[in-house]
Amino acid sequence: MPTYHIITIGCQMNISDSERLASRLEQAGFKKTDNKYGADLVIINTCGVRQSAENRIYGLIPGIKKENRKAKIILTGCLSERKDVRRRLKKYVDAWLPVKEILNFKFKILNYQRRGNDNFGNQDYLSIQPKHDSNFSAYVPIGNGCDNFCVYCVVPYARGREVYRSAQEILAEVRGLVKRGYKEVVLIAQNVNSYKSPIPPSPPLSRGGDFADLLKTINDIPGDFWIRFLSSHPKDMSDKLIKAVASCEKACPQIYLPVQAGDNLVLKRMNRQYTRADYIKLVKKIRKQLNLPSSPFIKGVIWKPPVSITTDIIVGFPSETRKQFNNSVKLFRQVGFDMAYISEYSPRPGTAAFKLVDNVSPAEKTRRKNQLDKILRQTALANNKKYIGKTVRVLMENQTKVGKWFGKTATGKDIRFSAKSSICRAGNFVKVKVTGAKEFCLAGKV
């Protein structure tokens, strides 16, 4: 049996695509191996969002080809259609596979005999049943692509326009996962909250067919499981959706709301379609509605933590002045994020911003990044200290050493804790008393 090895670079969407690709490969008669130097087929699932992610493949792919001469190399993901990347790597790569073509990929071109069904017609690749890495937590893509065209971002070009899956297909996937004992489903899309049912909504999605309706319908699936979702575009974070999150007991109080900049002019030049004041108002609204003490999340002694807010922000966007950056600094202090992914601006070929002069120096970008990171550490620590002495519900993930476990709270906080072996199993919910807090991790005891 020929073997395959997948290397995934980038976001949750890429991880999820790789799980679908793995399933497709196994259906076609390939067997997984953990050894990239021994595999017959090595698939690199690439990311083109930042230059640093792109650069990883230029060392990686020639290195694999050198150590594993017989391997056939397939390049998929964001960079698979970039002409300059194709030119640069053509002597190492045997096939280029745009993600949407996973289903109809012809293994014959690599001289591998295919097995199984090869007539998928116009079926979308998201309909492939994935081979999940975890047996208790699963990514469930609800759509792909983006229509927003933020000027710095490659996604609308690399992944195309927004396409959403039908609620029926999503619900069938979630029901299947819950039946198999999954305890966490993570709904993903470039912007989950732009979801629109691609077909007229019908029962059980009998309401308008937007993301709030989808969330409520998934929440109605019987079983003890958590629903997370990411990420949410601030312009599409409707009152209806905030209310839905507040009323769905399975929806985790964790909102991933990328801000990208704290200055109005920069936001406008980025084409983000909201102002700094809109963002701050939105955060206040989310906190007010999701921190209700009457939430059904409180059961027995379990404390319902305040909603956690995560963001993405870019520093050193072309012509971002110190003064404009200071507005991002102020926003960070004002909001008090629990987590933030801070990126130095990276010019991306094909985007509108690529034509702008990348005139903030690398040293200044790093300085700005460090400044925001310092504030994030302060606010995250202050937020985490509120957990000390409280008992929270935790989903166990894995064992670190004998008697020590690692898991996540509903708010997405990492927590390390000690527990007796009798209740220890990855995928179990446990009650943990929090005894300590660091910036990005809690400590506790079952």
Cβ-based nearer residue to ligand SAM, 93 or 376: 376
x-or-dash string of contact with ligand SAM, 151-170, rule CB under 6 A: -xx-x---------------
Residue 156 binding: pick among ligand SAM, ligand SF4, none (C-beta 5-8 Å cut-off by kind): ligand SF4
Range list of H helices, 6-50:
12-27
What is the spatial distance between Cα 123 and Cα 315, in angstroms, rounded to a whole number? 40
Cβ-based nearer residue to ligand SF4, 71 or 259: 259
Please report how close the Cβ of residue 271 comes to ligand SF4 at its closest, in angstroms: 8
Cβ-based nearer residue to ligand SF4, 165 or 183: 165
Indicate which single residue of 148, 289, 319, 391 sits in contact with ligand SF4 (rule: CB under 6 A): 148
What is the spatial distance between Cα 208 and Cα 129, in angstroms, rounded to a whole number? 27
Q: What is the DSSP letter of 210?
A: B
Q: Can you tell me whether residue 51 is helix, strand or coil?
A: helix
What is the spatial distance between Cα 429 and Cα 85, in angstroms, rounded to a whole number? 45
Residue 49 binding: pick among ligand SAM, ligand SF4, none (C-beta 5-8 Å cut-off by kind): ligand SAM
Residue 149 binding: pick among ligand SF4, ligand SAM, none (C-beta 5-8 Å cut-off by kind): ligand SF4
- Written as one string, the DSSP assignment of 54-98 is HHHHHHHHHHHHHH-TT-EEEEEETTTT-HHHHHHHTTT-SEEE-
| 155 near ligand SF4 (CB under 6 A) | yes
According to CB under 6 A, which residues from 208 to 247 bind ligand SAM? 231, 233
According to CB under 6 A, which residues from 316 to 335 bind ligand SAM? none
Number of residues that bind ligand SF4 (CB under 6 A): 10
Residue with tokens 């991933």: 256
What is the spatial distance between Cα 195 and Cα 204, in angstroms, rounded to a whole number? 16
Q: Quote the crossing angle between the two packed helices 239-247 and 276-290, to the nearest 10°.
A: 30
Contacts of 42 (CB under 8 A, 6+ apart): 4, 5, 6, 7, 36, 64, 68, 71, 72, 73, 74
Cβ-based nearer residue to ligand SAM, 308 or 346: 346
Number of residues that bind ligand SAM (CB under 6 A): 17
Question: Strand 137-141 relative to strand 442-445: parallel, antiparallel, unpaired?
Answer: unpaired
Binding part of the chain for ligand SAM, among 280-288, 319-327, 345-353, 429-437 by CB under 6 A, reads: 345-353
Binning the chain into helix, strand and coil, the percentages to the nearest 5 are 35, 20, 45
Cβ-based nearer residue to ligand SAM, 174 or 189: 189
Residue numbers at the binding site for ligand SAM (CB under 6 A): 49-50, 152-153, 155, 190-191, 231, 233, 258, 260, 312, 314, 343, 345-346, 348
Residue numbers at the binding site for ligand SF4 (CB under 6 A): 146, 148-150, 153, 155-156, 190-191, 233
